[in-house]
Amino acid sequence: MIPGPFEFVRAASVEEAVAALVAHGDDAKVIAGGHSLLPLMKLRLAMPAVLVDIGRIPGLSYVRVEGDEVAIGAGIRHHELERDEVAGAEVPILPHAAGQVGDPQVRHRGTLGGTVAHSDPASDLPTALLALGGSVVVQGPDGRRSIPLTEFWLGFFETALQPEELVVELRVPRTGPAGWAYEKFTRRANDWPIVAVAAVDGRVALANMAGTVVRATATEEALARGASIAEAAALAADGTSPSADMHADQEYRRHLARLLTRRALEKAAGVGVTAA
């Protein structure tokens, strides 16, 4: 469980980090909180020759309202997001989802940019972000560009990010206090979700139901044409391809997706939650 040898570069700015990524190409890997990358390195599933540490770049941790959107710095730790008052007032699903991630140690180290860039389909915050809609702002040698969240996650551990680009900001629409819910099913407290569902204003996103976090499009379309919550939630697993593992087979995950979607939609609508 000891990583292979690597060179360590501590970047003092986003520009320095990008320059290091350009200089070292495919041999380099960004490290932020290290709570996804280091386990992979210890298992030697990742063996970067150069680690570019962005964890101490100043000015990457913020939450601010900009017009109709909330802009969130990629360096914000899950723990900071969980307690952020602006996020709590403007996009409360995000602090709530941040509080669901792992245990306090993970939440004190892990970053929003890290969990977005990692593209694990079981991740809590990307699921909530996908239900919110919005975009990822990335910075590379040619400057900044914005990628819609619906186009960012391409597969398991695969994103639209280029090797020399950094995630620097997330931008999501302001929702206000109501109309959202996050339902996470775990075997034990602090675990990754077996399945999780985020619902925001009629948009529904699912964790662990495909190779990336995904929108429950059949459910969303049913809601848009006026179907009841029960009818729409019954379609939540349509078009998904959940994996099977020691925790749950595919059919159980589909069942959870339908059940948790109904609960999330009922909570988001402020109606009583059906028990079973």
Cα separation, 110 vs 77, whole angstroms: 6
Contacts of 213 (CB under 8 A, 6+ apart): 121, 123, 126, 127, 130, 153, 205, 206, 207
Here the tokens at position 7 are 């060179």
Q: Which stretch binds ligand FAD (CB under 6 A): 104-112, 175-183, 209-217, 228-236?
A: 104-112
Using CB under 6 A as the binding rule, whether residue 254 contacts ligand FAD is answered as: no
Using CB under 6 A as the binding rule, whether residue 36 contacts ligand FAD is answered as: yes
Query: Residue 179: what residue type?
Result: G
Q: Which stretch binds ligand FAD (CB under 6 A): 82-90, 113-121, 143-151, 241-249?
A: 113-121
Using CB under 6 A as the binding rule, whether residue 118 contacts ligand FAD is answered as: yes
Q: Which stretch binds ligand FAD (CB under 6 A): 106-114, 144-152, 213-221, 233-241?
A: 106-114
Q: Which stretch binds ligand FAD (CB under 6 A): 109-117, 211-219, 221-229, 253-261?
A: 109-117
C-alpha distances in Å from residue 50, one per residue of 5, 22, 63, 140, 155: 9, 12, 30, 18, 24
Using CB under 6 A as the binding rule, whether residue 93 contacts ligand FAD is answered as: no
Here the tokens at position 252 are 């159980």
Using CB under 6 A as the binding rule, whether residue 3 contacts ligand FAD is answered as: no
* Residue closer to ligand FAD, measured from CB, 64 or 187: 187
Residue window 212-251: x/- pattern of binding to ligand FAD, with contact defined by CB under 6 A: ----------------------------------------
Name the 3-class secondary structure at 13: coil
Cα separation, 237 vs 267, whole angstroms: 19
Decide: 211 and 154 in contact? Cβ < 8 Å.
Answer: no
Query: What 8-state DSSP symbol labels residue 109?
Result: H
- Which one of 124, 164, 183, 266 is in contact with ligand FAD (CB under 6 A)? 124
* Residue closer to ligand FAD, measured from CB, 161 or 232: 161
Cα separation, 158 vs 117, whole angstroms: 8
Residues 47-86 that bind ligand FAD (CB under 6 A): 54, 74
Contacts of 274 (CB under 8 A, 6+ apart): 230, 262, 263, 266
* Residue closer to ligand FAD, measured from CB, 130 or 222: 130
Using CB under 6 A as the binding rule, whether residue 35 contacts ligand FAD is answered as: yes
Binding interface with ligand FAD (CB under 6 A) = 29-37, 39, 54, 74, 101-102, 106, 109-111, 113-115, 117-118, 123-125, 161, 166-167, 192
